[in-house]
């Protein structure tokens, strides 16, 4: 084994040929013999560079419509042979197999084909066999072979070739091998996920190639990384990089705003809505969302489901916030909002989101379906003597959307499509209710005629009693407690309406 390997023979067979030309010319200058197949062979010849067809090396043509081209001992023997290993060298000589020192191979675009909505047969044809085998072979024998498996590394290889006169070091070959195994494992995971959609095998497999190192994790002493492509989801117009905590809040904000179709703005702090309102115009939605809790709104994440215009931007610019997300901003609004350099402005772009969520826990991982269910008036069953009015049903629907996205135990008060107050993350439901009453009073809201939503059932009638005394006239809860009737009886005694949905919305 040599620390430095001079490239004498290279095998090149790629799907993506953009930016490959400089590498071909560099190899040609260093006298490297190039073997290739199909379209890559044609491309190399078009550059005026000599190339040997793999079929001429193996004495076998490409067969089965191109399914079998490189699967041959004369190809894999040249890649897998251990240099300076006497037995391997003897067999290479015996069977006239050239040592292949460089393999440049990528994979058929399987994931892209799946995303395109192509038919099953087309998807199957994009499962690479020869390519992935060549990549694994080159990576396994990294001590002697450099494997390049992605077009993203073309420029890096070109630089190595030029600076090192056509040779590679062991560290470089090991680094490229690591990248190659990353690509093959991701490819295999994508194929498995495609096949595992119907009657899935219960196994946890995730693979994301793109990542972004964050300034730190939840706290400065913790490291943090985001795996995924944020640029696909957001066009960042302005501001610093998103932090770990920003991302957690942004995720919660996106999930909440997607419940609403009419002009709505929400303000979130630590993943909970501290203000949200739906109005005929985004500006008024902002004003009424902020009114809910202007103290907690400081340093929050703001999300809108409509365009931010200049008037709305000037109102929003009056407070300090971390992130503002909208589907669009007018040019004048951007000028207003960019005046403060650290404020993060994001245009949300249409991206299909996963319907699963998972996290590490103990010595494993837990996974579940996302809570994508929401109950409207049609799913609300009146269980009291008094029936909610049409407006109360609308308000209960609004409150139910908010309570679904708020940390348990939680109570939400709402009226006229506006969050009035919420009690969040308490260890008892009655404490959540008391917290919500205090906050509503603190910010001058009159709860008379407002509605209340709870993420889970009432174990005792005390919540209903206190809510009625605060002015609440209609209550929504999933039901299911052995003490449901006691809460219903309290509603009847207090003259307020109650509906049950049969669906709990815990959020931990």
Q: Which residues are catalytic?
A: 140, 270
Scored b (16 or more CB within 10 A) or e, 352-390 reads eeeeeeeeeeeeeeeeeeeeeeebeeeebeebbebebee
* Helix-strand-coil split of the chain, %, nearest 5: 40, 20, 40
How far is Cα 267 from Cα 319, in angstroms, rounded to an integer?
12
- For residue 168, the cross-strand partners are 5
Scored b (16 or more CB within 10 A) or e, 265-292 reads bbbbbebbbbbbbbbeebbbbbbbbbbb
How far is Cα 454 from Cα 466, in angstroms, rounded to an integer?
14
Q: Long-range contacts of range 366-370, CB-CB < 8 Å, 24 or more positions apart?
A: 367/204, 370/255
Who contacts 165 (Cβ-Cβ below 8 Å, separation ≥6)?
Answer: 30
434: left (phi over 0), alpha (psi -120 to 50) or beta: alpha
How far is Cα 137 from Cα 123, in angstroms, rounded to an integer?
25
Task: Identify whether the C-beta of residue 389 lies closer than 8 Å to the C-beta of residue 416.
Answer: no
How far is Cα 280 from Cα 262, in angstroms, rounded to an integer?
7
């Amino acid at each position: 084994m040599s620390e430095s390997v001079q490239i004498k023979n290279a095998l090149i067979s790629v799907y993506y040929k953009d930016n490959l030309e400089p590498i071909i010319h560099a190899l040609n200058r260093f006298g490297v013999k190039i073997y290739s197949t199909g379209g890559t062979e044609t491309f190399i010849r078009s550059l005026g560079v000599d190339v040997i067809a793999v079929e001429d090396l193996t004495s076998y043509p490409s067969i089965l419509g191109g399914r079998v081209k490189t699967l041959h001992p004369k190809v894999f023997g040249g890649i897998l042979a251990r240099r300076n290993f006497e037995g391997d060298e003897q067999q290479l000589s015996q069977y006239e197999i050239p040592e292949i020192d460089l393999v440049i191979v990528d994979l058929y675009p399987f994931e892209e084909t799946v995303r395109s909505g192509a038919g099953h047969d087309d998807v199957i044809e994009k499962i690479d066999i020869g390519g992935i085998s060549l990549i694994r072979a080159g990576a396994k024998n990294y001590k002697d072979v450099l494997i390049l498996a992605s077009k993203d590394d073309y420029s890096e290889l070109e630089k190595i070739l030029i600076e090192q006169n056509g040779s590679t070091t062991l560290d470089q070959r090991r680094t490229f091998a690591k990248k190659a195994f990353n690509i093959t494992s991701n490819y295999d995971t994508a194929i498995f996920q495609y096949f595992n959609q119907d009657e899935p095998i219960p196994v946890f497999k995730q693979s994301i190639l793109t990542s972004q190192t964050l300034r730190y994790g939840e706290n400065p002493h913790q490291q943090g990384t985001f795996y995924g492509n944020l640029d696909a989801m957001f066009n960042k117009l302005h501001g610093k990089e998103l932090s770990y905590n920003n991302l957690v809040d942004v995720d919660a904000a996106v999930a909440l705003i997607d419940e609403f179709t009419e002009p709505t703005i929400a303000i979130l702090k630590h993943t909970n809505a501290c203000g949200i309102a739906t109005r005929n115009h985004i500006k008024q939605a902002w004003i009424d969302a902020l009114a809910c809790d202007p103290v907690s709104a400081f340093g929050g994440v703001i999300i809108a489901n409509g365009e931010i215009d200049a008037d709305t931007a000037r109102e929003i610019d009056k407070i300090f916030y971390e992130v503002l997300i909208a589907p669009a901003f007018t040019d004048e609004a951007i000028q207003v909002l960019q005046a403060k350099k650290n404020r993060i402005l994001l245009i949300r772009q249409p991206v299909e989101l996963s319907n699963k969520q998972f996290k590490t826990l103990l010595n494993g991982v837990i996974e579940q379906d996302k809570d994508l269910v929401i109950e409207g008036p049609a799913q609300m069953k009146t269980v009291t003597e008094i029936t909610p009015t049409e407006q109360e049903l609308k308000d209960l629907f609004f409150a139910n959307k908010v309570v679904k996205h708020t940390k348990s135990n939680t109570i939400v008060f709402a009226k006229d499509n506006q969050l009035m107050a919420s009690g969040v993350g308490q260890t008892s439901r009655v404490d959540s209710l008391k917290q919500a009453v205090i906050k509503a009073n603190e910010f001058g809201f009159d709860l008379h005629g407002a509605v209340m939503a709870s993420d889970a059932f009432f174990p005792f009638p005390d919540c209903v009693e206190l809510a009625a005394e605060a002015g609440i006239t209609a209550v929504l809860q999933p039901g299911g407690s052995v003490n449901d009737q006691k809460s219903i009886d309290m509603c009847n005694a207090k003259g307020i309406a109650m509906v049950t949905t049969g669906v709990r919305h815990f959020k931990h």
